[in-house]
Structure 1
Amino acid sequence: MSVDSVRYQAPATSISELKALLDLQRQAYAAHPFPPLAQRQQWLKSLRQLLSDEREVLIDAISQDFSHRSPDETLFAELMPSLHGIDYTLKHLKHWMKPSPRHVGVMFQPASAKVVYQPLGVIGIIVPWNYPLYLAIGPLVGALAAGNRVMLKLSEFTPATGHWLKELLGRIFPEDMVCVVLGETDVAAAFSALAFDHLLFTGSTHVGKQVMRAAAENLTPVTLELGGKSPAIVSAEVSLKEAAQRIAWGKTLNAGQTCIAPDYVLVPHNRVEGFVEAYRTAVHGFYPTLTDNPDYTAIINERQVARLEHLQADAERKGARLIALYDHGQGRRMPHTLLMNVSDDMQVMQEEIFGPLLPIVTYHRLDEALAYINARPRPLALYYFGYNKAEQEHVIQHTHSGGVCINETLQHVAIDDLPFGGVGHSGMGHYHGHEGFLTFSKAKGVLIKQRLNSSMAAYPPYDRQRVRLIQKLFIR
């Protein structure tokens, strides 16, 4: 079925309904607090089958929300990693669920100890508009694998995707298991104020602070994926063609509307002209023309277009030199633009760009580039391009970021066995793979003793001879 013929403005979930849905899921969790492996596997298999069967509906819905999203980008950047994440989780879930035996010292014997990974209960997930499928399914998989119930809040800027996810997930999960919440910012604010057992938010740092503030009222633990200004460093010796092509792919995917897209590039001062030409060649190789190009994704809405145009105008007014890689845009398809001679007083160097604008910053020595990065809030990702292994390790050890790619961009987020998460202003906590399972589980320490009670030796009244013996054996 295609969504082309229908415009969706799905009915919002009322604020009063939110509490009822949470209560419904809490009751269901209380009735089944520790789902067995087979049940969790069945949930994941059903989800995988649904995504595979309904891929065209979801691809069409996302494209409708963007006015045009490259269907191949949705396939590669949303559907494929969602399916791979499910497959990876199914393969390893049995091992993850096993209690972890722990050491018990001689003083406490005879006894055994273990860590049991218990479902937390009801998980809240707030999904952004830029990757509405992957950023819903990814945390959903981790939460289900850990045995939880889940409430998903979809963005008001992706109504078609929200409609179809609600419709499709409702086919395989009852509302007391998984439910999709729709609505504007008032619903999102009320959602974040619910007493979840864990809340995961993906979005801006500004809104992330509001979400954390609301969650604190309930002492709800949070995972925040917040983005920031992720730098790419071009070394003094790396092939400009290779570096430019990989940076261009990371920046142009989804028209730069990616939380880990390269936000600015640090280039040696004597390599800038060569990098600009290599970058221009790379982008034109991906998109020979912008007009009517099915591979070139649009900006999500007019509000975001206006924001990006303002960033561009502010930079130009303050002295930046703009290099537009296309003569003009088409509708919300914005032309990719490089910004030269940028300075810290420009808004484009203060805010996460989230679009097809790429500032170029020059440096003389690598440590100067690292100092520039370290003087700013810690980013969600950092990219280094250079083949010197000593320099690679130096960059890894002397910067802080949520994740790092060496000679690549973006792809660390798709590695199922790597945790994904921010640090500082780019977020807190992790999910994906095993780390996702742990995030949505309570690692409960358990000590087990049977009839023999060796602890009696430490009971009062404290006999001096017994105390001296304990001191001699255990306090040295």
Structure 2
Amino acid sequence: MSADLQFTPLEEIQSVYARVNATFKAGTTRPLSYRRHQLLQLARMLQENITAWEDASLADLGKQRQETTVTELTPIIQGSINAAESLEEWATPEKPKVEAWRSSWNTTIYHVPKGIVLLISPWNYPVILTFLGLIGAIAAGCPTVLKPSECTPHVAALIAELIPRYLDPAAYAVVNGAVDETKTLLDLQWAHIFFTGSTRIGRIVATAAAKHVTPVTLELGGKSPVIIAPDYDLELAAKRVLYGKVQNVGQLCVSPDYVLVPRSVYKPFLEAIKKTYASFFPVDPLDPEAKWGKIVNEPNYKRVKGLIGETKGEIILGGKWDDNRLRIALTIVAGVKLDDPLMDEEIFGPILPIIEVDDVDAAIQTVSDRPYPLVVYTFTNSKEVEEKVATRTNSGTIVMNDTQMQLAVHEMPFGGHGESGYGGYMGKDSYDIFTHRRGYINVPQEMEPFYAYRYLPYSEESYKVMTQGAHVPIPES
């Protein structure tokens, strides 16, 4: 496969924008039948080209075929079908309960599409993190321009090739490129911008959106911690933590970033990690037979490799690399302190620091003292510990006794909080992001006798009648 990616000429971006905008204004995407067809076409686009998507992911990231299909393709196929089957329910107007004196106003909340959407996706999971947002935009009736990451050129090229073959090209378009193309897109006025990526770029996107008062969904990252309680099965915890870390060689926003282990079980946990590591890698991780993925590009490879050289902790597993293939073995670092270089920013690679703390309370305090992460993982059988984590920490999500499995639950929103982003999506929440809840009332003429006191000129009598609501009794607290 060729890695050459054709960037969209800057002069064409305005015409792409004009095309999808005209489609929205024409009302093309509003009928539910249209949206349902596009959603099912999206599912077909993934299902009918599974091998091509696997090939592209393998070329860009060294991602193994099973991992690509399980973690990137299957959720989009199933999510598209679920949205198509749920459209009528999601789009049904709401009839809120109102006070009796307004009961004849036919108060209704309609779900209407916001307008045209810009969706900027990252390189680490370039398929699912492009199309999860698109599912919501299609379901909501919003034409969309997709900007895939140039760091995964094979996937980006495949997206550009297949979108116009399966979806309505008047409503859904792809712009490929890098900084200049993205800046050109951000200079335009959108109804909503959906961005997944780093906090640094997220700030740039939010600043650009503010010029047009454009709502934004930011799916960022952060250092997602793992807390190990002494009461939990340490071998099972080690297995589930490493499972989360090996996905896409740690290049995942919800990857376990560091592990906090109480002193009483610190050494046994390290032994459990070693045992699991040996079972995951019966051959050296850098051996081609290990089918271990690669770091996406040279700059990220140098960054991750540099972290291994800078840490003051003890490398107990891994710590090796292959400069020619941009591969770094899963590296476990023990004895890490909170001021270690590994603790400065999100690692986003195959390095797992393990930090010894006094006890669970100290672990919880460590998490609460740091910026809000995307997720807090905790391994415990104790309801008391679970309650402490829930009430004394903050994050986009809490996951008990596993890693990454929150991504399988489309019935609840996935998203960040604070520096890890804002705006949750998945399932109906994806639909809600791109939908405006438009209020409607119809005030009957028969109300007019009751309105006599609202009109000018005001009088003492009108004041007394119209201000009664300010003098209602307040219940005892």
Q: TM-score, normalised by structure 2?
A: 0.93
Match of 1:3 in 2: none
Opposite residue 406 of structure 2, the aligned amino acid is: H
1: CA distance between counterparts of 2:103 and 2:69?
Answer: 56
Task: Calculate percent identity across the aligned residue pairs.
Answer: 32
* Aligned counterpart for 2:337 among listed residues 331, 334, 343: 343
Following superposition, the deviation at residue 448 of structure 1 comes to 1.8
Following superposition, the deviation at residue 470 of structure 1 comes to 4.9
Following superposition, the deviation at residue 435 of structure 1 comes to 1.3
Aligned residues: 467
Match of 2:237 in 1: 243
- The DSSP-based 3-state class of the residue aligned with 1:130 is coil
1: CA distance between counterparts of 2:20 and 2:417?
Answer: 31
Q: Deviation string for 1:32-65 (max 9, x for gaps)? A: 1661222111111111112111111011011111
Following superposition, the deviation at residue 449 of structure 1 comes to 2.2
1: CA distance between counterparts of 2:166 and 2:76?
Answer: 17
Match of 1:40 in 2: 35
1:72-471 alignment runs, 5 A limit: 72-289=66-283, 290=285, 291-293=287-289, 295-315=291-311, 319-325=312-318, 329=322, 331-454=325-448, 456-457=451-452, 458-462=454-458, 464-465=460-461, 467-470=463-466
**Mean Cα displacement is larger for which, 206-215 or 80-89?**
80-89
Contact 2:150–2:176 under 8 Å retained in 1: yes
1: CA distance between counterparts of 2:118 and 2:468?
Answer: 52
Q: Deviation string for 1:235-254 (max 9, x for gaps)? A: 01111111000000000111
- The DSSP-based 3-state class of the residue aligned with 1:101 is coil
2: CA distance between counterparts of 1:57 and 1:468?
Answer: 74
Q: Deviation string for 1:408-430 (max 9, x for gaps)? A: 10110221101011011100111
2: CA distance between counterparts of 1:191 and 1:327?
Answer: 40
Matched, 1:18 2:13: yes
Following superposition, the deviation at residue 463 of structure 1 comes to 5.3
Alpha-carbon spacing, 1:50–1:328, altered in 2? closer, same or farther (3 Å): closer
Alpha-carbon spacing, 1:472–1:57, altered in 2? closer, same or farther (3 Å): closer
Contact 1:104–1:111 under 8 Å retained in 2: no
Matched, 1:60 2:55: yes
Opposite residue 9 of structure 1, the aligned amino acid is: D
2: CA distance between counterparts of 1:155 and 1:368?
Answer: 39
Contact 2:230–2:262 under 8 Å retained in 1: yes
Alpha-carbon spacing, 1:57–1:105, altered in 2? closer, same or farther (3 Å): same
1: CA distance between counterparts of 2:442 and 2:302?
Answer: 62
Q: Deviation string for 1:312-369 (max 9, x for gaps)? A: 1111xxx321122376658222111111222343321111101110011111222211
Contact 1:40–1:147 under 8 Å retained in 2: yes
Contact 1:25–1:122 under 8 Å retained in 2: yes
1: CA distance between counterparts of 2:58 and 2:468?
Answer: 73
Coordinate RMSD, CA, aligned: 1.9
- The DSSP-based 3-state class of the residue aligned with 1:443 is strand
Following superposition, the deviation at residue 120 of structure 1 comes to 0.7
Alpha-carbon spacing, 1:130–1:368, altered in 2? closer, same or farther (3 Å): same
1: CA distance between counterparts of 2:439 and 2:92?
Answer: 13
- The DSSP-based 3-state class of the residue aligned with 1:227 is coil
Opposite residue 412 of structure 1, the aligned amino acid is: Q
1: CA distance between counterparts of 2:277 and 2:64?
Answer: 16
2: CA distance between counterparts of 1:358 and 1:148?
Answer: 40
- The DSSP-based 3-state class of the residue aligned with 1:293 is helix
Following superposition, the deviation at residue 15 of structure 1 comes to 2.3
Alpha-carbon spacing, 1:147–1:294, altered in 2? closer, same or farther (3 Å): farther
Structure 2 residues without counterparts, runs of 5 or longer:
473-477
Contact 1:88–1:416 under 8 Å retained in 2: no
Opposite residue 449 of structure 1, the aligned amino acid is: V
Match of 2:65 in 1: 71
Following superposition, the deviation at residue 9 of structure 1 comes to 1.2
Structure 1 residues without counterparts, runs of 5 or longer:
1-5
- The DSSP-based 3-state class of the residue aligned with 1:207 is helix
2: CA distance between counterparts of 1:41 and 1:471?
Answer: 50
Contact 2:29–2:171 under 8 Å retained in 1: no
Contact 1:34–1:118 under 8 Å retained in 2: no
Q: Deviation string for 1:359-416 (max 9, x for gaps)? A: 1111122221111111111001110001112211221122111111100101102211
Following superposition, the deviation at residue 286 of structure 1 comes to 2.2
Q: Deviation string for 1:47-90 (max 9, x for gaps)? A: 11121111110110111112x21111101110111122223222
2: CA distance between counterparts of 1:159 and 1:471?
Answer: 65
Opposite residue 385 of structure 1, the aligned amino acid is: F
Contact 2:30–2:141 under 8 Å retained in 1: yes
Opposite residue 437 of structure 2, the aligned amino acid is: A
1: CA distance between counterparts of 2:103 and 2:259?
Answer: 59
Following superposition, the deviation at residue 93 of structure 1 comes to 2.0
Match of 1:27 in 2: 22
Contact 2:163–2:169 under 8 Å retained in 1: no
Alpha-carbon spacing, 1:396–1:84, altered in 2? closer, same or farther (3 Å): farther
Following superposition, the deviation at residue 464 of structure 1 comes to 4.6
